[in-house]
Amino acid sequence: MRFIDYLDKFSGTLLGVSIGDTLGHPFEGMIREEIYAKFTIFEDYLNKHKHLFNTYTDDTQLTIHTTQALIQGSGFNLDNFIREYIAWLDDPPIGPGFGCISSIKKLRYGIPWENAASNSGGNGTAMRISPLGLFYCKDITNLCDTVLKTSQLTHSHPAASAGAIVIARAIAYLIELTPETSIPIDRFFTTITSPILDSNEPIWNELVEILDKVKQNLNIPIEAGLIKFSQAGVRSPYFIEQYLGKAFVHPYTLSTVACAIFIFLKSLSSFKDCLYSLATAGGDSDTVGAIGGGLAGAYFGLKNIPEDLVKIVKGSKRILKLSSDLYNKFKERYG
Ligand SMILES: [Mg+2]
């Protein structure tokens, strides 16, 4: 049997989120071809412009608060989650999405979460969900239930919960693998879509169909795939016509999740290559970096993350400490 170092995987995942977010942040809102016009080799650009990669954003902030809430409650506890998300307002938020900030401000005013949640299908819940994929990796029924509750705290739209469930399930699946063996592609897609399969919710079914197309298109180049998927599932009034036919990942959950998974699976030669590809996706680059970075970190583990990328993250020691605290709670509960 393969030995899995879960602490290494927990640390790799949370650090992966923050590295992808930090690397993608300077490229948020740019078309992919504009980003690639800036350099021939990404690493040279990174080394020359370190000052641009000086912070993570809301994706990592909310992942940290989600982790803290899980640690405090040794699992999901509604009050802890609400308190942690409200505390995020004092961080203060960096580059927040409208769905998140509007609902969390309502929570702060004491409005019950059922009324506070925004009817947004934005990617704000998928970006923060990886700690639940870690903590509940041995308990998939609870994983799906708690991800749904966590997502609905701020986003009542089914697109948001569909993407959050898929990403958390993917994290739970990937930490059981090691980069020494390849990812069984059919099994990967079957596993991550199984919790949202055959649902009464049309948007959950739509994400299953989009992910099936991602699987069928893993042989096309990244640029072509991003043109295909970067507005997947997006509808008016969120559709941005000027970016049609461009690699510009729309900050909608279905499109962001599809693109992050597509790039991740296309870039498995190393953690570094994977993160460089994710963070330069175009459009919502920091969130593609954060979501895909979590997947990459779960798969590669901390031991395969180069030291220079760990160092780029502001407060990386704090994130490593939180990873280890979350791991200890996981060990206490699941042995
Ligand atoms: Mg962000």
Per-residue pLDDT tens for 113-171? 999 999 999 999 999 999 999 999 999 999 999 999 999 999 999 999 999 999 999 99
How far is the centre of ligand 1, averaged over its atoms, from the C-alpha of 111 (Å)?
A: 25
Whether residue 1 lies inside any domain: the answer is: no
How many structural domains are present in the chain?
1
Whether residue 239 lies inside any domain: the answer is: yes
List the domain range (segments joined by +) for residue 17: 6-334
Whether residue 80 lies inside any domain: the answer is: yes
Whether residue 183 lies inside any domain: the answer is: yes
How far is the centre of ligand 1, averaged over its atoms, from the C-alpha of 283 (Å)?
A: 11
How far is the centre of ligand 1, averaged over its atoms, from the C-alpha of 62 (Å)?
A: 10
Per-residue pLDDT tens for 157-190? 999 999 999 999 999 999 999 999 899 999 999 9
Whether residue 316 lies inside any domain: the answer is: yes
Per-residue pLDDT tens for 266-288? 999 999 999 999 999 999 999 99
Q: Structure tokens of 38?
A: 């800036």
Whether residue 306 lies inside any domain: the answer is: yes
Whether residue 237 lies inside any domain: the answer is: yes
How far is the centre of ligand 1, averaged over its atoms, from the C-alpha of 327 (Å)?
A: 25
Is the pLDDT at 1 greater than 70? The verdict is: no
> Are the C-beta atoms of residues 116 and 103 closer than 8 Å to each other?
yes
- Tell me the mean pLDDT in the region 237-259: 90
- Tell me the mean pLDDT in the region 288-304: 98
Q: Can you give the pLDDT at residue 239?
A: 76
CATH of the domain at 259: 1.10.4080.10
Whether residue 31 lies inside any domain: the answer is: yes
Q: Which residues surround ligand 1, an ion (CB under 5 A)?
A: 57-59, 95, 286
- Tell me the mean pLDDT in the region 94-104: 93
pTM over 0.75: yes
